[in-house]
């Protein structure tokens, strides 16, 4: 093994760079080592001298404490060592080695490590000076009255040395990099002129290019060498040029004659190659084709591979023409030969087969040639590859008419097919069914699991729907999670229900999305042609209304279109339009429903309920418009308005009625999932008015907790941090789970009115109410019973320990001014 590289095989450039860098590295390394070692030795000596000085001062001050056995004074002396960061522990020992006082920086005082009865000061340290122990006797006169023991830790200073060492290494590396850069620049000045001479000589030897010259770099010795070399080249060039001039005169004449003969053939071949056209001829008498090289190139073949430039009609059709197009090209040839027209160009498009097995599209154009008697004896034509153009057209058509995710027809193709099926049904007098399918709870899957998992679900849903219908039926995706099905040529419309139910059953099965499992269902709307409508627009509107009816009826079902649905849809549309101006036109109102403390009968709480005073329809039930507000997204602005009105009212009631009055507001799940800006403004709004979070309570449903996303959980935590309490509305009627009560900070449970309506002392409802109340109290929750309408119901709930009651027995929801009057009468 060689211990040092063999420089004899290196180039001059590499030798210069290597030696400069090596010598610089050795010099800097030696200097750095000496400097760092000297600094480290000096710092270690300084640390030890400092430790020795501290022991001398401590020994002098500890004499009185040792003579009188004063532990307090000794402890005070050791506590003063707190300022010396490197000292970790210290002991003052009496003459017998017993501990008079001890101190430890970490607070854990230990006994002295051993019996150190030394005659003189001793210092023990490790090789790298990370720690040191100093033992010093305390002498009064010539009598040794005790010992001082110090333990020091120099790890922090050593870490500083290591950091400085690393910095030095970095500077060392950077310096080497700079030196390497300067060395490469220096070697270029020396080696570049020599390399230019060598490269020029090598090029002249290979190419006989005596007109080359070496660039002049400088006027030194190397410059003289270059001048002499260039002069030699000039002499050689002059001699060769004289010999070549005579030879050129002889060759020019020969070249001129040859070029003129070849130019015509070259231009023709080049034109064919550039245009991408393959030329061919067909001899009518022999029924043979003749092709040029470019024609074979279009099919990735050569004349040699197929046996020459001539080929019979049968071989041509079998070897090059796609089987489905063989008859078509033959028909075009026969029609041209049988035609009486002259100078007529036939043009068609066919598929051809290549020697590699691929299929290409060709545009074929040809015409016939006639002899002196007017008989057609030959066809001449060209073929052009248009495969990429065909593929582009197919791709554009596919993208314009099909959904890229599911490969189903899109809305455009669906409408075109529906239009065609309607014409066919009208012609055949056969019924047609149109289905609109919407996936229930797909948005939750998309939001919680991500769009990639949502796409997988859509692809699988499309496959399941397609499996439930015939191949002649059309399944399309018209956007998002909405699909349509066209059932045409129906012999009996009774089969529509069977198909709809099979689609519902197929979609309710679990979806395996990689490692996750998702569950959705389908709401289907069905309309029939010609019973319900006779044109495309009305059929689509009818199916959409029927689908909406399925959703309103509880989802996971199908509904047929009826004219009452159309009336409901029109009413719904008018309500939505009117609702858009309800907030700006000051048509919304808040009514307050008191929440009574059952034990005392006092009212310190109320629920704010939204009312819409329509200018023409009068007071509209919230059940009619709240869902519309959620679907249209207007619930966010309306919910923000409700919150601010309730806050304004609670501020007034806290001032005139009770300082801890609380108003609860209902918060829609749509607000929790979609409202970012307004929700973030609630807490600052309370702070601006100087109101605590406890003045407001938020009522939510169990369904929100069932589908709680990270955003919902975060907002519930924000409410808790702000002191805003949360009530779980309609408890027991939905997906009740005790895990919600443990997982989320719920303050109140509201027993649904369905448990209170038929409440008697021996009823099952009474047992359920008692169980809910006991459970809630065990979890530290308050209970509010809704729907109290009789004194018996109030008495039974009070006896069961229910905290609050709400219902018509106490009061109906009333406007703010009537509610204040109610509070005054209840207080008196």
How far is Cα 29 from Cα 168, in angstroms, rounded to an integer? 10
Percent of the chain with pLDDT over 70: 83
CA nearest to 303, candidates 267, 323, 278, 285? 278
- Distances in whole angstroms, Cα of residue 429 to Cα of each of 255, 423, 426, 532: 83, 10, 5, 15
**Is pLDDT of 267 > 70?**
no
- Flag whether pLDDT at 422 surpasses 70: yes
The CB-side HSE value for 651 (13 A sphere, CA atoms) comes to 13
Give me the percent of the chain exceeding a pLDDT of 90. Answer: 24
pLDDT of residue 374: 78
Residue pLDDT, tens place only, 123-134: 666 555 667 777
Reference 236, options 210, 213, 212, 204; nearest CA is 210
Tokens of 534: 């006779």
- Among the residue ranges 316-330, 462-476, 578-592, the one predicted with the least confidence is 316-330
Q: Which of 56, 37, 41 is nearest to 125 (CA)?
A: 41
Q: Tokens standing for 196?
A: 């230019």
Give the whole-angstrom CA distance, residue 452 versus residue 446.
Answer: 8
- Between the alpha carbon of residue 412 and those of residues 408, 416, 423, 495, 569, the distances in Å are 11, 6, 17, 27, 25
User: pLDDT, tens digit, for every residue of 357-366?
Assistant: 788 888 888 8
Q: C-alpha 537: how far from its chain's center?
A: 38
Q: What is the pLDDT of residue 750?
A: 92
Instruction: Evaluate if residue 40 carries a pLDDT over 80.
Output: no
Strands 346-353 and 804-806: unpaired
Per-residue pLDDT tens for 2-19? Answer: 455 565 667 666 777 777
Q: Give the helix/strand (H/E) hosting 784.
A: strand 782-786
Check whether 655 has a pLDDT greater than 50: yes
pLDDT mean across residues, the chain: 81
pLDDT value at 397 more than 70: yes
Tell the burial category of 376 from Cβ atoms under 10 Å away from its Cβ (0-12, 13-18, 19+).
Answer: middle
Residue 698 CB contacts under 8 Å (≥ 6 apart), including other chains: 664, 665, 667, 719, 724, 725, 726, 727
What does the pLDDT read at residue 192?
67
Q: Return the DSSP state at 664.
A: E
Q: How far is the C-alpha of 776 from the C-alpha of 269, rounded, in Å?
A: 95
What's the token pair of residue 348?
């068609």
pLDDT at 654: 94
What mean pLDDT is predicted for residues 293-309?
Answer: 75
Angle of helix 12-61 relative to helix 155-207, nearest 10 degrees?
180
How many whole angstroms separate alpha carbon 285 and alpha carbon 259?
A: 37
Which residues, 6 or more positions from 233, have their beta carbon under 8 angstroms from its beta carbon?
Answer: 204, 210, 212, 213
Read off the tokens for 484. Answer: 């349509």
Question: What pLDDT band is residue 72 in, cutting at 50, 70 and 90?
Answer: confident
Instruction: Answer whether residue 468 shows pLDDT above 60.
Output: yes
In DSSP terms, 432 is beta-bridged to 529
* 604: pLDDT strictly greater than 90: yes
How far apart are alpha carbons 643 and 747 in whole angstroms?
Answer: 19
pLDDT value at position 262?
46
Indicate the pLDDT class of residue 475, thresholds 50, 70 and 90: very high
**Across 166-170, 279-283, 506-510, 560-564, which has the greatest mean pLDDT?**
506-510
- Residue count (the chain): 828
304 vs 546: which has the higher pLDDT: 546
Instruction: Report whether 543 contacts 438 (CB < 8 A).
Output: no
Express each pLDDT in 684-694 by its tens digit: 899 899 999 99
Mean pLDDT over 779-802 rounds to 93
- Its pTM surpasses 0.85: no
pLDDT band at 696 (very low <50, low <70, confident <90, very high): very high
Please, are residues 91 and 149 in contact by the beta-carbon 8 Å criterion? yes
Spatial distance between the Cα atoms of 659 and 677, rounded to a whole number of angstroms:
30
Q: Which stretches of 320-357 are DSSP H helices?
A: 326-338
Are 591 and 815 in contact by the 8 Å Cβ rule? The answer is yes
Radius of gyration over alpha carbons of the chain, in Å? 50
**Considering only 251-255, 281-285, 799-803, which range has the smallest mean pLDDT?**
251-255
Q: Report yes or no: 805 and 785 within 8 Å, Cβ to Cβ.
A: yes
Q: How far apart are CA 715 and CA 133, in angstroms?
A: 59
CB-based burial label for 342 (10 Å; 0-12, 13-18, 19+): exposed
- The torsion angle over the Cα atoms of residues 105, 111, 117 and 123, rounded to 10 degrees, is -30
Summarize pLDDT for 796-825 with one digit per residue, the tens: 999 999 999 999 999 999 999 999 999 988
d(CA 238, CA 226): 19
Placement of tokens 């020599």 in the chain = 194
Enter the DSSP assignment of 725: E
Tokens 């660039």 correspond to what residue? 215
């Amino acid at each position: 093994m060689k211990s040092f590289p063999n420089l004899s095989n290196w180039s001059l450039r590499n030798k210069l760079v290597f030696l400069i860098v090596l010598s610089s590295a050795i010099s800097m390394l030696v200097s750095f080592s000496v400097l760092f070692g000297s600094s480290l030795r000096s710092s270690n000596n300084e640390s030890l001298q400092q430790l020795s000085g501290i022991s001398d001062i401590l020994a002098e001050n500890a004499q009185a404490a040792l003579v009188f056995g004063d532990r307090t004074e000794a402890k005070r002396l050791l506590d003063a060592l707190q300022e010396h960061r490197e000292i970790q522990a210290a002991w003052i020992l009496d003459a017998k080695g017993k501990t008079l006082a001890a101190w430890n920086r970490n607070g854990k005082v230990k006994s002295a490590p051993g019996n150190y009865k030394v005659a003189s000061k001793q210092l023990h340290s490790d090789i790298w000076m990370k720690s040191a122990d100093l033992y010093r006797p305390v002498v009064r006169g010539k009598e040794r009255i005790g010992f001082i023991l110090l333990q020091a830790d120099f790890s922090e200073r050593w870490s500083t040395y290591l950091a400085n060492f690393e910095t030095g290494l970095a500077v060392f590396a950077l310096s080497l990099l700079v030196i390497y850069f300067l060395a490469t620049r220096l070697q270029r000045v020396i080696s570049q002129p020599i390399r230019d001479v060598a490269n020029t000589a090598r090029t002249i030897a290979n190419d006989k290019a005596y007109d080359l010259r070496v660039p002049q770099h400088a006027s030194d010795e190397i410059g003289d060498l270059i001048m002499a070399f260039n002069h030699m080249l000039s002499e050689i060039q002059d001699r060769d040029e004289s010999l070549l001039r005579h030879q050129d005169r002889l060759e020019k004449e020969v070249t001129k004659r040859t070029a003129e003969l070849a130019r015509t053939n070259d231009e023709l071949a080049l034109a064919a190659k550039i245009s991408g056209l393959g030329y061919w001829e067909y001899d009518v008498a022999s029924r043979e084709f003749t092709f040029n090289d470019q024609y074979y190139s279009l099919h990735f073949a050569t004349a040699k591979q197929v046996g020459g430039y001539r080929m019979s009609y049968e071989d041509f059709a079998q070897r090059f023409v796609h089987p489905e197009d063989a008859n078509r090209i033959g028909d075009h040839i026969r029609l041209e030969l049988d035609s009486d027209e002259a100078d007529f160009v036939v043009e068609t498009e066919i598929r051809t087969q290549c020697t590699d097995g691929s299929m290409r599209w060709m545009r074929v154009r040809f015409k016939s040639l006639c002899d002196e008697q007017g008989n057609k004896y030959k066809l001449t034509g060209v073929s052009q590859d248009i495969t990429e153009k065909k593929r582009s057209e197919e791709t554009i058509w596919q993208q314009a008419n099909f959904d890229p995710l599911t490969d189903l027809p899109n809305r455009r193709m669906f409408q075109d097919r529906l239009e065609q099926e309607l014409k066919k049904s009208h012609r055949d007098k056969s019924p047609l069914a149109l289905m609109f399918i919407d996936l229930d709870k797909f948005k939750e899957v998309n939001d919680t699991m991500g769009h990639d998992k949502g796409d997988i679900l859509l692809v699988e849903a499309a496959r399941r729907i397609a499996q439930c219908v015939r191949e002649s039926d059309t399944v399309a995706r018209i956007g998002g999670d909405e699909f349509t099905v066209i059932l045409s040529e129906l012999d009996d419309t009774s089969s529509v229900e069977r198909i709809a139910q099979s689609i519902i059953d197929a979609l309710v099965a679990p979806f395996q999305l990689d490692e996750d499992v998702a569950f959705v269902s389908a709401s289907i709307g069905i309309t029939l042609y010609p019973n319900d409508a006779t044109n495309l627009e009305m059929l689509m509107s009818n199916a959409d209304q029927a689908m909406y009816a399925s959703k309103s009826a509880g989802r996971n079902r199908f509904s047929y279109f009826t004219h009452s649905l159309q009336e409901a849809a029109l009413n719904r549309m008018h309500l939505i339009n009117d609702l858009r101006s309800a907030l700006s036109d000051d048509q919304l109102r808040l009514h307050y429903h008191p929440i009574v403390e059952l034990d005392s009968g006092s009212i310190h709480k109320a629920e704010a309920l939204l009312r819409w005073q329509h200018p023409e329809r009068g007071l509209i039930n919230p059940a009619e418009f709240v869902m519309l507000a959620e679907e249209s997204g207007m619930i966010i602005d309306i919910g923000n308005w409700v919150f601010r009105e309730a806050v304004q009212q609670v501020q007034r009631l806290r001032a005139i009625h009770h300082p801890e009055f609380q108003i609860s507001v209902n918060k829609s799940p749509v607000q929790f999932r979609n409202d970012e800006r307004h929700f973030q403004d609630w807490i600052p709004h309370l702070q601006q008015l100087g109101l605590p979070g406890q003045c407001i309570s938020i009522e939510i449903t169990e369904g929100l907790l069932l589908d709680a996303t990270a955003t919902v959980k975060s907002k519930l935590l924000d409410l808790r941090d702000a002191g805003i309490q949360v009530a779980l509305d309609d408890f027991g009627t939905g997906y009740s789970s005790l895990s919600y009560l443990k997982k989320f900070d719920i303050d109140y449970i509201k027993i649904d009115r369905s448990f209170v309506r038929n409440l008697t002392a021996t009823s099952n409802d009474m047992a359920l109410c008692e169980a809910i109340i006991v459970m809630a109290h065990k979890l530290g929750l308050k209970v509010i019973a809704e729907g109290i309408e009789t004194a018996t119901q109030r008495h039974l709930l009070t006896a069961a320990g229910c905290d609050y009651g709400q219902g018509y027995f106490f009061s109906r929801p009333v406007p703010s001014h009537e509610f204040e009057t109610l509070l005054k009468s209840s207080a008196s």
